[in-house]
Amino acid sequence: MFDHADPDLAGFREEAVAWIKANFPSALTGKSPTPFITDGALADSDPDYQAWLKRVVSKGWGAPTWPEEYGGGGLTQAHSVIIHEELARVGAFHPNHTYGEMMLGPTLLEYGDEVQKRRFIPPIARAEVRWCQGFSEPGAGSDLASLQTKCVDGGDHWIVTGQKIWTSGANHSHWCFCLVRTDTTTKHGGISFLLIDMSSPGIEARPIYLISGSTHFCEVFFNDVKVPKENMVGGLNKGWPIAKRLLQFERDSLASGRAEAPSLAPLAKQYLGVNALGQIADPDVRHRVVRNAMRARAYAHTMRRAALEAKTNAGVSAAVSALKNLGSDIAQERADLAVEILGHNGLGWEGDHFAAAEIEATRAWLHSRAFSIYGGSLEIQNNITAKRVLGLPG
């Protein structure tokens, strides 16, 4: 845990509070960052989001803890925690919390060569390039290492052929970090990690329509796609350890994101009214709103401690799997409560009878069903916790 009484951190918090107040567009208050992160067309067309993104990047907070030599802010983990705490406190969000910033950037800092770091990391910190994750395949979902997308040596380049699925934002991404099979005689030892330009000939991304109405998931087809040799990270058949590390960063980010939701109390007071004490009128809903807020607060403190321990010790641990499941549960509970509070107004899908915020809440509730599936399902995370944390037999 960092020292809250540290005068340097206290001063930084004051600076962060003032800067966020002066720069965060009020029109984005309380909104989820997910649609902007997963839908590049929406992100590009929303002037408030674009203004917020440019201000954050100009401030040097695009990737606050990355080294300055690679375009990062050079801040400590404690500073980053403060930024995210103060953003959450006013219903704001970090606009560059993308797949590049969450997953690829920290992975390249550990496994990329110097040329790869200097080429790919700074554009992520400046929010200039959108990345997608080419991991899941139709025949290799829970058992990721069963992937079959083939990569063969084409002389001065690699040739990639195969299919990925559940690839978020692939139809709006510039690049893809991708796992490919480079050796069919061994399972985990035959996987390599490639960086693929999505504008390369032979790539097709087909959006998948979801129950929430969004289409951020895609099928991606690679048809004899040529990839430069220098775009392989870590070396031939060395991709599995890199993939595991990246998945830890993904789960850590997903878990951290669950701790950053504004209170439901104002919404409950608006729709259910208040008692003589100014509290939410319905005592049962009041109890559950407070309980959810307490769980979220405790979770946020746990995530803060885990982040600092990861920074000072051995990096992201397998305990992140348990935290990912806990965070998903708290977030799904919150989405359930929000729709319940709205009552029949929480049934809106479209039309003038429902406010935009009500429709957004309904779709967010539908989207929340995926929290315990994507990024590694609840069952997969429990298996990891059982084996790697508790040491139970496999």
Helix H or strand E encompassing 211: none
In angstroms, the Cα distances linking 78 to 24, 54, 382 are 21, 23, 29
User: How many Cα atoms are found within 13 Å in the side-chain-facing hemisphere of 332?
Assistant: 15
250 annotated active-site:
yes
CA dist., res. 82 & res. 12, Å (int): 8
The three-state secondary structure class of 35 is helix
Looking up tokens 């978020």 gives 168
Q: Residue 279: what residue type?
A: Q
User: How many Cα atoms are found within 13 Å in the side-chain-facing hemisphere of 101?
Assistant: 25
Going by DSSP bridges, is the β-strand pair 175-181/131-134 parallel, antiparallel, or unpaired?
A: parallel
CA dist., res. 111 & res. 117, Å (int): 9
> 354 phi and psi, to 5 degrees?
-125, 140
Hey, which residues does 208 pair with through a beta bridge?
217
DSSP state, 200?
Answer: S
Long-range Cβ contact pairs of 349-352 (< 8 A, separation 24 or more) = 349/213
User: How many Cα atoms are found within 13 Å in the side-chain-facing hemisphere of 364?
Assistant: 25
Nearest Cα residue to 71 out of 28, 129, 117: 117
**Catalytic option among 137, 250, 260, 358:** 250
Alpha-helix residue ranges (DSSP H) falling in the chain: 7-23, 34-38, 40-45, 47-59, 77-89, 99, 105-111, 114-125, 239-257, 265-272, 283-312, 319-342, 356-368, 378-384
Are the beta carbons of 127 and 64 closer than 8 angstroms? no
The catalytic residues are 250
